[in-house]
Chain A
Amino acid sequence: MLKRKVLLVDDSMTTLFMEEMILNGRYQVVKATNGEDAIEKARIERPDLILLDVIMPKMDGFAVCRALRAEEGTRTTPIIMVTTRGEEENVERGFEAGCNDYVTKPINGLELLTKVDNQFASTGPAPAVAGGMASL
């Protein structure tokens, strides 16, 4: 079965690497390092889910999220925001921008996998591919 595709968006190489380590065994991973790159990759790659950092130079995660929601091809693509500060205000802004869920930094592998799996569980059965943190 084809692995689902997850687009990782973060300007921090460390965070991108960490997210890739967590998700790579279970999902196909595509990376973008800024907001514009993220929108472009979302158009071309048609990911099944987008993991989107909030704080990025030029175009922040909220703006990227709104732009993705305005596009026909990514209107319903699940978006999980990665927030540095998990305060209520930031979380509310994320949901207002159209995200489906959020995780806070520092990223916990178990939490991230659970939230990604939950998003896919609501859209259909998860791919029958072994992996996850245990396969690192």
Chain B
Amino acid sequence: MSDRPSDRPSEHDKPVIAGGGSGTEPGQYVQRVRQDTQRYIQDLLAENEKLRRLTAEVDSERRRLEDEAARWRDQASGLARELDSFRRDRERLELQLSQIERENHGFSNRFTELEQRNNDLANLYVATYRLHSTLDREEVLQAIQEIVINLIGCEEFGIYELAPGANELLRVSSFGLGADQFERVNLGEGWIGRSAASGSAYFAGTAPDEERQEGEQHLSACVPLRLDGRVAGLIAVFRLLPQKGGRFAPIDAELFDMLAAQAAPAVYCSTFER
């Protein structure tokens, strides 16, 4: 049966009663109405059955979808747990990574320190080796010059000797200084003389500026050279190479210490050869 209005009895289908002009018998009309009604009921029942089946199908689909949703929910819950586990793993790994990075950074710093230390030791080894590789006085003085120029990085300095009992320092070698510049220095005068007299090294920034004498404004360091417990000479360092930035490096102090202890004996030994 269809829901279309045209399939249902309408006002126009209504039988006309005797005398109404149609001439149809009342029994026929009732008969027809009954048939129509029965057909209508059949159609309704068929439609009802169809709807019932449809409802059953929808119910079935709904249950299937509910099952599927439940499965997805389980799966989502499992994935959430897995994700949570991954997140915890990631956090743990990130922590490990940052620890490893810290360790790596520490090793890297340590490696750089060791390389620097090796470099410093190489400097000292080369300086010592050069100082004691000859008994020729000029070569010893040349070696001291090369150490001061190439390993410490000075471009203006003088090397002085102090004879036992003498009152003045005599310049025996120099680099960058004029011929008459600090050729002789009296003991106790200025930084050079005071450093030699006291046996203490003077460094710019730590030694008193008022003790400088004229011309010593650019003096960077005075290092007394010792021989058998007495001062036998001195290295006066004026200007450093520009790339030093006016500062001594930590290794420079070690090189000065080495020169203070070993330069004078090396020069002294060379005098026997002469």
Contacts and interface: CB of A to CB of B under 8 A. Distances in A.
Interface of A: 12-15, 17-18, 21-22, 84-87, 104-110, 132-134, 136
A15 B118 contact: no
From B116, B143, B149, residue with most partner A Cβ within 10 Å: B149
Contacts, number: 76
Given A14-B143, A17-B129, A110-B112, A105 B122 contact: no
Given A14-B151, A104-B243, A133 B146 contact: no
B126 A136 contact: no
Contacts of B127: 14
B146 A15 contact: yes
24 contacts: A14-B146, A14-B150, A15-B150, A17-B129, A18-B122, A18-B151, A84-B149, A84-B155, A84-B241, A85-B242, A85-B243, A86-B242, A104-B243, A105-B153, A106-B152, A106-B153, A109-B119, A109-B122, A110-B115, A110-B116, A110-B119, A133-B115, A133-B118, A134-B114
Interface residues of B, number: 27
A87 B244 CA distance: 11
A105 B241 contact: yes
Contacts of A85: 155, 241-243
A105 B118 contact: no
Interface of B: 111-112, 114-116, 118-119, 121-123, 125-127, 129-130, 143, 146-147, 149-153, 155, 241-243
A134 to B, nearest CB: 6
A136 B114 CA distance: 11
A87 B241 CA distance: 10
B236 to A, nearest CB: 19
Contacts of B125: 21
Nearest to B249: A106
